[in-house]
C-alpha cells in the first residue's frame, strides 16, 4: 500500500485493473485500517475517474456472495448518500410503495456512514433480520414482493471498511459504489446522486448495461427527488429537468423531510409514513420517488399513471402489508 499511496500522492490515477486489484486486496484483508483510511482519503481530495470506479466495482462484484432470484425482474431504488441532508429513509419507503404496486424489489442497503440512519439501520429497528440464503430471499420476494440485501453480508470489502467509513462520517467513493454493486443484478434501477458530476459518471456506466435506468439529482444537492427544488432526471432515453410541481404536486421545505436525530426516531417516522399517516409533504416526496421508479420499468409510460399507482399502494395499505410480511418472515 505504501507504493500505491506514493503513486497517488503524485497526482496520478489508477488503471481499471489496478483499482480492481486494490479492492480485491481490501476485501481479502491485505491492508490494515490505517492504510485503508489513507487510501480513502486520496479520493476525498480529488475526483474519481471512470476507470477507477469501474475497477473498484469489478473487484467488489468478483468477491460478492452470489444471489439467484429465480429470474425475477427486480428493481432497486437507492441513493449514493453523502449529500449531508439527513432526510428520512425516502428510498427505502419508496421501495415498499413500489412493491405494493406490484413490482418486485431487491433493495440493496447498508448502515448509514454519513447519515443518522441508513436503510439497514431502519430495517433493523423495524424488526427485520438480515438474510443471505437464496431460498430465504426468494421467499421474501414471493410473499412480500420485496427482499432486502444488507451490503456487508454480500460484500466482504464493505464490511472491512465499515469502521473507517463510520469514523470519517464523510462522503467517500464507497458511497458511489453502493448503487452499482447490488448482487441481485436488478433489471431496473432508480439511482439518486449527490452532484451532477456523479450523474454524468453513472449515466456512462449504466448505459453500458443496456438495462432501463433512471438517475435523479435534486438541483439543490439532494440524492433523491426532494421536491425542495427542481430535479435533474436522466434515463437511457435522454435527460430533462422537472419541477417539484410536476413531480410531487407541490414544493416542500427541507425541514419537512428531516429524518430525525437517532435510528429510533428514523424508524418511528418510517412507520408513520408507511402507515399512511405522514404529512402531506412527506407523502409527496415518497410518492414522487416511487412514481419515478415505477415509470422506469416501462409499465407506466405516463408519469401521472405511475404516480396514481404509487398513491394507491400507500393509501390502500398494500405497501405497509409488504413491510409487515417481510418483517414477519424470521
Q: Is 153 part of a structural domain of the chain?
A: yes
152 in Cβ contact with 110 (< 8 Å): yes
The CATH number linked to 18 is 1.20.970.10
Q: Is residue 298 part of a domain?
A: yes
Of 12, 28, 62, the last residue of a domain is 62
**Is there a single domain that holds both residue 116 and residue 56?**
no
In a domain, 203, yes or no: yes
Query: DSSP readout, 282-293?
Result: HHHHHHHHHHHH
Residues 56 and 200 occupy one common structural domain: no
Q: Are residues 54 and 79 in the same domain?
A: no
Alpha-carbon span 71 to 53, nearest angstrom: 28
- Tell me whether residue 68 is in a domain: no
Map grid coordinates 426468494 to a residue: 138
How confident is the model over 18-58, as pLDDT tens digits?
A: 999 999 998 888 988 889 888 988 988 888 899 999 999 99
| Cell numbers at 65, concatenated | 456472495
pLDDT more than 70, % of the chain: 95
- The DSSP call for residue 187 is S
HSE, side-chain direction, 13 A CA sphere, residue 259: 26
10, 40, 62 — which closes off a domain? 62
Residue 143, domain CATH = 3.40.1030.10
Average pLDDT value over all residues in the chain:
91
If you average pLDDT over residues 100-111, what whole number do you get?
A: 95
In a domain, 69, yes or no: no
CA distances to 18, 167, 290, 306, 321 from 313, in Å = 46, 38, 10, 11, 10
- Is pLDDT at 59 greater than 80 in this prediction? yes
Do 266 and 134 share a structural domain? yes
pLDDT at 169: 66
Same domain? 319 vs 257 = yes
Domain check: are 129 and 96 in the same one? Answer: yes
Number of domains in the chain: 2
Same domain, 49 and 156: no
Do 36 and 95 fall into the same domain? no
Q: What is the pLDDT of residues 153-207, one digit of tens each?
A: 998 777 777 766 666 666 777 878 888 899 999 999 999 998 898 899 999 999 9
What region does 209 belong to: left with phi over 0, alpha with psi -120 to 50, or beta? Answer: alpha
Could you list the beta-strand ranges (E) of 162-230: 188-192, 213-218
Percentage of the chain modeled with pLDDT above 90: 70
Same domain for 190 and 276, yes or no, is yes
Q: Are residues 42 and 108 in the same domain?
A: no
- State the residue range of the domain holding 17: 2-62
Kindly list the distances between the CA atom of residue 304 and the CA atoms of 52, 102, 285, in Å, as whole numbers in the listed order. Answer: 39, 17, 15
Residue 183 sits in the same domain as residue 269: yes
Asked if the structure places residue 70 within a domain, the reply is no
**28-37, 118-127, 284-293, 318-327, range with the lowest pLDDT:** 28-37
Q: Are residues 41 and 165 in the same domain?
A: no
Q: Let me know if 325 is exposed, middle or buried by CB neighbors in 10 A (0-12, 13-18, 19+).
A: middle
Among residues 39, 62, 85, the one where a domain terminates is 62
Amino acid at each position: 500500500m505504501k507504493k500505491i499511496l506514493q503513486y497517488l500522492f503524485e497526482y496520478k490515477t489508477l488503471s481499471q485493473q489496478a483499482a480492481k486489484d486494490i479492492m480485491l486486496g481490501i476485501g481479502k484483508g491485505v491492508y490494515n485500517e490505517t492504510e485503508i483510511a489513507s487510501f480513502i482519503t486520496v479520493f476525498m481530495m480529488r475526483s474519481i475517474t471512470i476507470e477507477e470506479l469501474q475497477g473498484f466495482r469489478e473487484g467488489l462484484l468478483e468477491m460478492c456472495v452470489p444471489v439467484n432470484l429465480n429470474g425475477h425482474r427486480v428493481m432497486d431504488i437507492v441513493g449514493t448518500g453523502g449529500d449531508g441532508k439527513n432526510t428520512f429513509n425516502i428510498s427505502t419507503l419508496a421501495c415498499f410503495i413500489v412493491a405494493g404496486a406490484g413490482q418486485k424489489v431487491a433493495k440493496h442497503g447498508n448502515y448509514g456512514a454519513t447519515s443518522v440512519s441508513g436503510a439497514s439501520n431502519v430495517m433493523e429497528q423495524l424488526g427485520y433480520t438480515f438474510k443471505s440464503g437464496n431460498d430465504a430471499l426468494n421467499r421474501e420476494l414471493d410473499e412480500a414482493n420485496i427482499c432486502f440485501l444488507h451490503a456487508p453480508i454480500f460484500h466482504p470489502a464493505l464490511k472491512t471498511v465499515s469502521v473507517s467509513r463510520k469514523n470519517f462520517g464523510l462522503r467517500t467513493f464507497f458511497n458511489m459504489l453502493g448503487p452499482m454493486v447490488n448482487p441481485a443484478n436488478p433489471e431496473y434501477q432508480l439511482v439518486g446522486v449527490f452532484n451532477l458530476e456523479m450523474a454524468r459518471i453513472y449515466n456512462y456506466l449504466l448505459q453500458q448495461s443496456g438495462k432501463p435506468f433512471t438517475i435523479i439529482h435534486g438541483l439543490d444537492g439532494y440524492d433523491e427527488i426532494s421536491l425542495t427544488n427542481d430535479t435533474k432526471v436522466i434515463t437511457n432515453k435522454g435527460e430533462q429537468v422537472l419541477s417539484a410541481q410536476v413531480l410531487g404536486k407541490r414544493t416542500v421545505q427541507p425541514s419537512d423531510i428531516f429524518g430525525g436525530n437517532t435510528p429510533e426516531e428514523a424508524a418511528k417516522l418510517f412507520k408513520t409514513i408507511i402507515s399512511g399517516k405522514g404529512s402531506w409533504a412527506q407523502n409527496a416526496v415518497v410518492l414522487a420517488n416511487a412514481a419515478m421508479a415505477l415509470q422506469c420499468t416501462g409499465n407506466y409510460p405516463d408519469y401521472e399513471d405511475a404516480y396514481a399507482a404509487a398513491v394507491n399502494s400507500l393509501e390502500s395499505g398494500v405497501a405497509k402489508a409488504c413491510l409487515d410480511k417481510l418483517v414477519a418472515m424470521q
